[in-house]
Every structure is written in C-alpha cells, then in structure tokens.
Amino acid sequence: MIKRMGLFSALLILNAMCAGAQTGEWKQLFNGKDLAGWKHVGPGGYQVKDGVLIPHGGMGLLWYTPSKVGHAVVRVVFKTETNASNSGVYIRIPEKPTEPWMPVNRGYEIQVDNTGDEFHRTGVVYSFTKAMAHPQKPAGEWNTMDITIDGRHTTVVLNGTKVTDYTEGQPQPPKDDPGADEGYIGIQNHSATDIVYYKEVAIKPLDQ
C-alpha cells in the first residue's frame, strides 16, 4: 500500500486513523458554562467566566457529584496567577464530602504549588511522594496534568513529564492512607490569595 500511494499519503491516512480512534475517549466533567454536576463545600466558591473556573475565598472544595472515579485518567488543564499560587486535585475521596478538610485527611491530593518542598510540589501526591521533576510552566501559562488511577497505582504526568509514580504500601511520611481503588474527585479552593484557574477537567477510562 505504501509503495502504491507513496509514504506521505500513507502517513496522512495513519494520522487520520489515530485521530479517529481518540475521538470521544475523553469525557468532559466541566462543561465550560456552569457548575452543573459540581458542588462546593466550605468557605468561598467558584464562578465560571469565559469557559474557566475561577476561585474566590476559601479554604473550600469543589467536587464532582455524579459518581466516583477509578481505573481512569483524570486530566486537568490549569494556570496559576502567581508562581506561588496553591491548589490541588483530590482523588480517591471515599465518601461524599461535607466539608473541605475530609479529603485532605482521607483522600489523596495531587498538589498544585510551584514553590513547595519536594513533598509538596506540583504533581506530587501531597506528603506521600517526592517530585521526580519540576515541569510546571510560569504563572499565566496553561499546564496539562494527567493523573492515572489504576487500582492502587497512581502516576502523575505534568506537561508530558512524569512527576509521580506511586503504589500504595510504599514507604511514606505518616498520613492516613485511604486504601481505595476509586473515589470522588475535587478541586481545592485554597484561599482568597491562591488563585488557580481551571479550564478543563476530563476523564478517560483505562483499557480493561
């Protein structure tokens, strides 16, 4: 086929086939228009403007209400207002949260903070893992973070670079371990001065 059509034509077809295979795989949890499917607990809140989630007040938690998430990749696209802006993405929240501190102690937080120490840096499992790299972009630029929840195994890739590769049971600093294969997910609204914008929250199931 390649000999008849030429290498360039064949590559175009292969690219189109790959693009088609990816169509519809990602499920957008944030619709870019309003907070449908989401609930905020604790002080402050989020508003939607120009397709972006914008926090105010805090400390609070915006969580996805329809279902727990497991055996999937969670993708968030975010940017920070300053280099020190603080937020986080919660995974494996075992129960529906009624206040913002429960997920801190009973779930996992994937940190967003470009100035923390190695156990509290963007892309780590907060206080569980040490950053393997520091690929966050400067304030004002969009970052893509993929969080893979595969049984008890969690990996985090930020802007194409792996930051975390963690399996429950590995040595870690003292902290309650939720020990769950799935759970609710949420976004931390850290404080009135920690502004982190989110324009995409999506999931893609892993191949069974």
Mean pLDDT, rounded, for 97-102: 96
| Backbone phi and psi for residue 10, each to the nearest 5 degrees, phi listed first | -65, -40
Q: Which of 173, 176, 146 is nearest to 158 (CA)?
A: 146
Residues 6 or more apart in contact with residue 4 via CB below 8 angstroms? none
Q: Is the pLDDT of residue 6 over 90?
A: no
- pLDDT given at position 16: 35
Q: Is the pLDDT of residue 173 over 70?
A: no
What 8-state DSSP symbol labels residue 25? -
**Bridge-partner residues for 197, per DSSP?**
79
Please give the Cα distance from 101 to 41 (Å, whole number): 10
CATH superfamily of 26-205: Exo-inulinase; domain 1 (2.60.120.560)
Q: Where are the domains of the chain?
A: 26-205
Mean pLDDT, rounded, for 64-68: 97
Annotate 153-165 with DSSP letters as a single string. EEEEEETTEEEEE
Looking at residue 12, its amino acid is: L
Give the residue with greater pLDDT, 148 vs 11. Answer: 148
In whole angstroms, what separates CA 20 from the centre of its chain? 25
Q: Is the pLDDT of residue 169 over 80?
A: no
Mean pLDDT, rounded, for 4-8: 38
Q: Is the pLDDT of residue 74 over 70?
A: yes
- pLDDT given at position 102: 94
Please give the Cα distance from 138 to 205 (Å, whole number): 30
- Residues of the chain with pLDDT > 90: what percent? 80
Q: Is the pLDDT of residue 155 over 70?
A: yes
Residues 193-202: pLDDT tens digits? 999 999 999 9
Q: Is the pLDDT of residue 25 over 80?
A: yes
- pLDDT given at position 176: 53
Among 10-14, 89-93, 162-166, the range scoring the smallest mean pLDDT is 10-14
- Residues of the chain with pLDDT > 70: what percent? 83
Question: On the CB side of 38, how many CA atoms lie within 13 Å of its CA?
Answer: 24
**Average pLDDT over the chain, rounded to whole?**
87
Contact 33, 48 (CB under 8 A): yes
Among 13-22, 58-67, 172-181, the range scoring the smallest mean pLDDT is 13-22
Please give the Cα distance from 200 to 51 (Å, whole number): 9
Instruction: Using the Cα atoms of residue 13, residue 14, residue 16 and residue 20 in order, give the sign of their dihedral.
Output: positive
Give the residue with greater pLDDT, 15 vs 189. Answer: 189
